[in-house]
C-alpha cells in the first residue's frame, strides 16, 4: 500500500469537502436559526463526515499506485498506475468518480447552499415589507372609525409611525444582508471555479487526447494541483473580507493612505 499516495489524495478530497462543509453550516445557521444551540455539535459532525469520506475516497488511490520493476532493468523500480485497470472504461469510470466527488458535487452543494440563503433573506425582506403596508392599512381603518377620539388617533398614529420606522430599518438591514450574501456567493463560487477549473480542464483534455502528460511537465502539473487545493486557503480570506470589522478597518486604512498620499503631494 502506498501510504504517501493515500495522504496526497486525502488532502485533495478534504480541500473541497471542507469548503462544502462551511457552505452547509452557514446555510443551516441562516435557514434554520432555531438550531443554533447545536451549532458546535453540528460543525463537529460535519467535519467528521468530511474527514471520513475523504479517507474512504482516498483508499483506492493507495492501491492503484504500486511499485513495479523495469522488465529489462530489474534494479530499477517506480511507482506507477498501469497494469491495474483491466480496461480503459474502468479507468475512465474511476476518473469520472474523482471529478464528481472533488469538483462537481461540492460545486452543486455550495451553489445550492448559498441560493437557499438568498431565498431565505428575500422571504424575510418581503415579510417585513408586507407587514409595514398592513400596519398602515389597519391604522387608516381605525382612524376612520368614529369611536376614536382625536387624542387616541394621534397616539395610535405615533405608535404606527414608530413601528413603520423600525420595520423600514429592518427591511434595509435585510436588503443589505441579501446583497452581502449575493456578493459572498459570487466570490466563493468564483474562487472555487478559478482554483479547480484549470486542473480539471487538463484532466478533461487528457481524456479526449490521451497525450496531456507528454505536453505538460511535472512542475506544471504540481503547480495546477497546488493551485486547486489552495481554494481552502482563499475561502477564509473571502469570508473575512465581508465581515463588518474588516470593512471598518479597511475604510480606516484607505482613509489613512489617502491622507498620507495627499499630504505628500
For residue 72, the domain's CATH number is 1.20.1070.10
Higher-pLDDT residue of 104 and 134 is: 104
Q: Residue 117 domain-assigned?
A: yes
Domain of residue 115, residue span: 3-252
pLDDT for 164 equals: 46
Higher-pLDDT residue of 142 and 210 is: 210
- Domain total for the chain? 1
- From CA 213, how far away is CA 142, in angstroms rounded? 78
Q: Are the CB atoms for 106 and 19 separated by under 8 Å? A: yes
Q: Residue 74 domain-assigned?
A: yes
Instruction: Give the confidence band of 211 by pLDDT, cuts at 50, 70, 90.
Output: low
Q: What is the mean pLDDT of residues 170-178?
A: 63
With cell 450574501, the residue in question is 181
Q: Residue 16 domain-assigned?
A: yes
Q: Residue 259 domain-assigned?
A: no
pLDDT for 140 equals: 47
35-60 as b/e: b if 16+ CB within 10 A: eeeeeeebbeebbeebbeebeebbeb
pLDDT tens, residue by residue, 51-72: 999 999 988 887 777 677 777 7
pLDDT for 59 equals: 86
pLDDT tens, residue by residue, 67-98: 777 777 777 776 767 777 777 788 788 888 88
3-class SS of residue 251: helix
Amino acid at each position: 500500500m502506498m501510504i504517501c499516495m493515500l495522504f496526497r489524495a486525502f488532502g485533495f478530497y478534504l480541500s473541497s469537502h471542507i469548503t462544502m462543509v462551511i457552505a452547509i453550516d452557514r446555510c443551516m445557521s441562516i435557514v434554520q436559526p432555531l438550531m443554533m444551540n447545536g451549532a458546535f455539535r453540528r460543525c463537529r459532525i460535519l467535519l467528521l463526515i468530511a474527514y471520513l469520506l475523504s479517507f474512504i475516497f482516498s483508499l483506492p488511490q493507495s492501491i492503484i499506485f504500486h511499485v513495479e520493476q523495469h522488465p529489462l532493468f530489474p534494479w530499477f523500480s517506480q511507482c506507477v498506475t498501469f497494469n491495474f485497470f483491466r480496461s480503459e472504461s474502468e479507468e475512465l469510470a474511476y476518473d469520472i468518480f474523482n471529478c464528481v466527488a472533488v469538483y462537481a458535487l461540492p460545486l452543486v452543494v455550495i451553489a445550492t447552499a448559498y441560493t437557499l440563503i438568498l431565498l431565505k433573506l428575500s422571504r424575510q425582506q418581503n415579510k417585513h415589507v408586507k407587514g409595514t403596508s398592513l400596519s398602515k392599512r389597519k391604522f387608516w381603518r381605525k382612524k376612520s372609525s368614529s369611536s376614536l377620539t382625536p387624542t387616541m388617533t394621534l397616539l395610535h398614529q405615533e405608535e404606527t409611525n414608530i413601528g413603520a420606522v423600525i420595520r423600514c430599518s429592518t427591511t434595509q438591514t435585510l436588503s443589505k444582508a441579501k446583497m452581502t450574501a449575493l456578493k459572498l456567493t459570487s466570490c466563493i463560487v468564483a474562487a472555487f471555479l478559478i482554483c479547480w477549473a484549470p486542473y480539471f480542464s487538463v484532466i478533461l483534455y487528457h481524456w479526449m487526447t490521451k497525450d496531456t502528460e507528454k505536453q505538460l511537465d511535472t512542475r506544471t502539473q504540481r503547480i495546477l494541483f497546488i493551485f486547486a487545493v489552495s481554494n481552502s486557503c482563499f475561502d477564509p480570506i473571502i469570508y473575512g473580507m465581508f465581515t463588518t470589522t474588516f470593512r471598518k478597518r479597511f475604510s480606516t486604512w484607505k482613509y489613512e493612505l489617502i491622507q498620507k498620499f495627499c499630504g505628500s503631494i
